[in-house]
Amino acid sequence: MGYLPYLFDPRSTILLAGLMGIMMSLVLFFMRRSYPPSIRGLSDWSRAPLIAFVSTLLFAARGFLPDFATIVVANMVLFQACVIYYAGSQQFLLGRSDTRGWTALNLVLGMLMFWFSSIQPDFEARLAIVTLAVTLLFFFHAMLYVRHKVPVYGMRLMIGLLLAQSLVAGLRFVSVIMGMAGTSIMEATWIQSVYITMYSFSVLFLSIAVVLMATDRVHTEFEYLATRDPLTGVLNRRALLDACLAEFAASHGTQGRPAALLMVDLDHFKSINDRFGHQMGDAVLREAVSRMQRVIGTQGLLGRYGGEEFVVLLPHTTMADAMTIAARLKEGIDEPLPPDSPAHAVGSFAVSIGVATSDGVKDVDEVLAQADEVLYRAKALGRGRVIATATA
């Protein structure tokens, strides 16, 4: 009673899990070749199922090959495959991986497997040790994703699968403590069938979760690139105008919520390009953006309007507050370039700024035109100054 000799064959199920792992490994391998290098973890994720397949061959050879190969090596290889999978998740989420502690635990696991298979054979002790180690590894793996709290379906699926695998391994550990270990991994008991079947499905669905996560990451990166200026990393003109339209619509939908626009132009930028070359000009643009972002912080959005012109969108900002921010922005840019700056050879540079608000104006283009008009007034008056529409 409790055996399923005709419905469940552990050896066949283990081999089937290995074959599914190979197929998913190939999928992830080709994804790694076609996806951008910024999607990290795919290399580890594609290697892990292949390594796990080696372990399934060794497990399935139980009774045909020496116990050292089918017990000690098989368990160590399988556990290391799980560690490599964990390393892939670390790469994907953190950009780096450190699994030295788990690898050291695997060495201890191997020594214990050798002791309880060759020195003092004890299947119950081996099963308890392995299931406890697997429970901990999958739990910590799941917590890695939980800590990131990213509402992406692929990550939610990954968390669910890892916790389910941890739970099943934990229940198998409890069953050993309760005297339900059995006598061999190849016993077709119901509890063994649940344990092995869960592992088989995990191989498939964890890889599916990886595909979903990587695809979502690529989609997010493409969306980001589509809205960013490739040189400076700030919003490009289209994304900037979209943000302005959305903010102006909100400000007119709710009274008392004006928005301000700062039109910023780098003074004498053409002469910088002519004297120092376009690469130095690019370095000046990046330095100017860095300084502007430090001043703006989370108060607004910065975008490149074209050439050396930038626009700062300041939501919920009156003219007086916008002038204060513009003055701080100009002061920050006026500071001499430090020796470690790529644009140090230029020495210093300045900006002219035109300020306009949406107060009483419904059209974004009209506010941009007002800001542009007073900007050129500032440049005509000698550059290096801030002028608002109220003083135009």
Q: What is the pLDDT of residues 39-65, one digit of tens each?
A: 899 999 989 888 888 888 888 888 889
Looking at the structure of the chain, the number of domains it has is: 2
Q: Are residues 170 and 301 in the same domain?
A: no
Question: What one-letter code names the amino acid at 95?
Answer: G
Residue 382 zone, left/alpha/beta (φ > 0; ψ -120 to 50; rest):
left
Q: Which of 194, 226, 258 is the last residue of a domain?
A: 226
What residues pair up with 295 in beta bridges, in sequence order? none
Q: What is the Cα–Cα distance from 19 to 16, expressed in whole angstroms?
A: 5
Does residue 5 sit within a domain? no
Q: What is the Cα–Cα distance from 343 to 286, expressed in whole angstroms?
A: 9
What residues pair up with 65 in beta bridges, in sequence order? 62
- Of residues 76 and 348, the one with the higher pLDDT is 76
Does residue 44 sit within a domain? yes
Question: 232 with 289: CB under 8 angstroms?
Answer: yes
Judge whether residue 167 has pLDDT over 80. yes
Question: What one-letter code names the amino acid at 57?
Answer: L
Q: Are residues 204 and 242 in the same domain?
A: no
User: If you ran DSSP here, which 8-state letter would residue 3 be given?
Assistant: B
Q: What is the pLDDT of residues 338-361, one digit of tens each?
A: 888 888 888 888 899 999 988 766
* Contacts for 126 with CB less than 8 Å, ≥ 6 apart: 71, 75, 112, 113, 116, 117
Where do we find the tokens 């132009």? Answer: 265
For residue 345, what pLDDT is reported? 84
Confidence class of residue 33 from pLDDT cuts 50, 70 and 90?
confident
- CATH assignment at residue 53: 1.20.1070
- CATH assignment at residue 337: 3.30.70.270
Q: What is the Cα–Cα distance from 311 to 264, expressed in whole angstroms?
A: 6
Taking residues 114-132, report their average pLDDT.
94
Q: What is the Cα–Cα distance from 6 to 367, expressed in whole angstroms?
A: 78
For residue 253, what pLDDT is reported? 53
For residue 132, what pLDDT is reported? 96
Q: Are residues 174 and 259 in the same domain?
A: no
Q: Cα 152 to chain center, whole Å?
A: 11
For residue 353, what pLDDT is reported? 93
Judge whether residue 184 has pLDDT over 80. no
Catalytic residue among 308, 309, 331, 373: 308
Confidence class of residue 195 from pLDDT cuts 50, 70 and 90?
low
Confidence class of residue 151 from pLDDT cuts 50, 70 and 90?
confident
Taking residues 266-295, report their average pLDDT.
90
What is the extent of the structural domain holding 379? 237-391
Q: Are residues 78 and 105 in the same domain?
A: yes
Mean pLDDT of the chain: 86
- Of residues 144 and 251, the one with the higher pLDDT is 144
For residue 11, what pLDDT is reported? 64
Is 221 marked active-site? no
Judge whether residue 100 has pLDDT over 90. yes
Question: 354 with 377: CB under 8 angstroms?
Answer: yes
For residue 263, what pLDDT is reported? 94
Nearest residue to 259 via CA among 295, 329, 311: 311
Q: What is the Cα–Cα distance from 293 to 287, expressed in whole angstroms?
A: 10
Taking residues 214-239, report their average pLDDT.
89
Backbone angles phi, psi at 65, to 5 degrees: -110, 165
Judge whether residue 1 has pLDDT over 90. no
Taking residues 65-83, report their average pLDDT.
94
Taking residues 278-287, report their average pLDDT.
91
Nearest residue to 300 via CA among 365, 351, 352, 357: 357
Helix (H) or strand (E) holding 299: none
For the four alpha carbons of 10, 13, 17 and 19, in that order, the dihedral sign comes to positive
Q: Cα 4 to chain center, whole Å?
A: 44
Confidence class of residue 191 from pLDDT cuts 50, 70 and 90?
low
For residue 4, what pLDDT is reported? 46
Q: What is the Cα–Cα distance from 333 to 312, expressed in whole angstroms?
A: 14
Helix (H) or strand (E) holding 46: helix 42-60
Judge whether residue 334 has pLDDT over 70. yes
For residue 289, what pLDDT is reported? 92
Confidence class of residue 13 from pLDDT cuts 50, 70 and 90?
low
Q: What is the pLDDT of residues 361-382, one digit of tens each?
A: 668 888 899 999 999 898 888 8
For residue 190, what pLDDT is reported? 59
- Of residues 168 and 119, the one with the higher pLDDT is 119
Q: What is the Cα–Cα distance from 82 to 199, expressed in whole angstroms?
A: 11
Hey, is 228 helix, strand or coil?
strand
Q: Are residues 58 and 186 in the same domain?
A: yes
- What's the pTM? 0.73
Q: Are residues 86 and 182 in the same domain?
A: yes
Q: What is the Cα–Cα distance from 143 to 79, expressed in whole angstroms?
A: 18
Q: Are residues 197 and 135 in the same domain?
A: yes
Q: Are residues 213 and 69 in the same domain?
A: yes
Report the interhelical angle of 42-60 vs 74-94 (nearest 10°): 170
Q: Are residues 216 and 250 in the same domain?
A: no
* Contacts for 77 with CB less than 8 Å, ≥ 6 apart: 51, 52, 54, 55, 58
Judge whether residue 119 has pLDDT over 90. yes
Q: Is 255 exposed, middle or buried (0-12, 13-18, 19+ CB in 10 A)?
A: exposed
Q: Are residues 138 and 219 in the same domain?
A: yes
Q: What is the Cα–Cα distance from 178 to 172, expressed in whole angstroms?
A: 10
